[in-house]
Structure 1
Amino acid sequence: MAEIVLRVRLITGDHLDVAYEETGTADVDEVAEHAIIALAADSGMIRAHHGDRVIVLYGRGVATLELTPRGAVL
């Protein structure tokens, strides 16, 4: 299982840091690619964690995603 931390900038201009994990793969680049592909789809969404909360992030509300080598701060 691999986990990445994404800094998400919403179309409103606000941003938040979320943790996204995927089972079955250990490659961080592959997990990031899956998140991008999912959010780029017409009805795209991902389930992520923001602190201790589970959130569903819909692609139509996302302006940009940022992934850094060290990750964002949660």
Structure 2
Amino acid sequence: MSSTTRTPDAQSLTPEQMRAEAQAWYERQLAILEKAHGARWPEHRAWLEAYLKQSLRERLIARGWRYKK
């Protein structure tokens, strides 16, 4: 049986920890997408980065984090 690490809720993370977690998620997703698109990555990079940033905003809000505009 393998154990899984649960991510703490937004209230238990400091803003610095939340930023670090968000940055790590973003970079992992970007690497996955880059690998998946291969040679065509440059054609898709701009819109995929915009998509990931919006997705990240929504994930953070769902976890109870409110960012400053």
State TM-score, norm by structure 1: 0.30
**Structure in which a larger fraction of residues adopt helix:** 2
Give the TM-score, by structure 2 length: 0.32
Higher relative contact order at CA 8 Å, sep ≥6: structure 1 or structure 2? 2
